[in-house]
A and B are shown apart, each in its own frame.
Chain A
C-alpha cells in the first residue's frame, strides 16, 4: 500500500507564516524554523546530524502556475 506523507499537522503551527522550516529526514517533525534560511539550516544541523529538508510556510498550492 502507498501511504501519503502527511505534513498537515506538523506544519499547522506555522500556517500562513512566511518562514523557512527544516524538517527531519523522515519529514515527521520540524526541527528548526525562522526567517533566515542559513540560520535555520545551522540550527537544524546543531540538533540533528541528518540532512535537513527545507521548505517555506506560505500554504499556497492551488492557484499558481508560473510560465516564462
Chain B
C-alpha cells in the first residue's frame, strides 16, 4: 500500500514555525478515523487518552507503563489492545494511551505495528509503502 507524505506545521525546538513532511496514515474505526504518524523512534504505539475514552476504553484499567519522551521525562500511560482498519487491512495491536501525549496525531511504533508491516520510506519522492507481512496484518 502506497501513501503520500503529509505536510504539517511544527514548532522547532527553538520555537520557530517550520513546515515538516511526515509519514501519516489515517487509521479507521467504525465511527471515525484518526491520523497517526508512523514513528520508528517510538518503542510502542501511543495515542491520546481522550481518543481512547472516545473509543469506549476505561483507560486507567489498562496495564500501566511509564512512557518517556526524548527529554527523558516519564509520563503515565496505560496499554490496551485495539483493532482498526488501515487501507483495507485489519490490524490488532497494543497501544499506550496517555493524557500527557503532547502530539497532534497518534504514533504507530515498533512493537506491534512494525511487526505487521514491512515499511519503506521514500521521503525524497514524497511517498512511503506499507507491505503487510501476512494476510492477517
Q: Of residues 9 to 68 in A, which have CB atoms within 8 Å of B's CB atoms? A: 11-12, 15-16, 20, 22-23, 25, 27, 37-38, 41, 51-68
Task: Determine whether the beta carbon of A59 is less than 8 Å from that of B11.
Answer: yes
Task: Determine whether the beta carbon of B33 is less than 8 Å from that of A53.
Answer: yes
Task: Determine whether the beta carbon of A65 is less than 8 Å from that of B41.
Answer: yes
Total A-B contacts with CB atoms under 8 angstroms apart: 140
A9 to B96, CA, bound (A): 30
Main secondary structure of the interface of B (DSSP, over half): strand
Interface size class of A (residues with CB under 8 A): 35 or more
Interface assignment of B51: CB less than 8 Å from any CB of chain A: yes
Interface assignment of B21: CB less than 8 Å from any CB of chain A: yes
Task: Determine whether the beta carbon of A58 is less than 8 Å from that of B103.
Answer: yes
A–B pairs, 29, beta carbons within 8 Å: A2-B4, A8-B8, A15-B17, A37-B51, A41-B31, A51-B31, A54-B33, A54-B34, A55-B105, A56-B103, A56-B105, A58-B102, A58-B104, A61-B20, A62-B12, A65-B39, A65-B41, A65-B42, A66-B41, A66-B43, A66-B44, A66-B46, A66-B68, A66-B69, A67-B42, A67-B43, A67-B67, A68-B68, A68-B96
3 closest Cβ pairs, A-B complex: A65-B41, A2-B126, A2-B127
What is the interface of chain A, defined by CB distance below 8 A to chain B? Answer: 2-8, 11-12, 15-16, 20, 22-23, 25, 27, 37-38, 41, 51-68
What is the interface of chain B, defined by CB distance below 8 A to chain A? Answer: 2, 4-13, 17-22, 24, 26, 28, 31-35, 37, 39, 41-44, 46, 48, 50-51, 53-54, 65-71, 77, 96, 101-105, 107, 109, 125-127
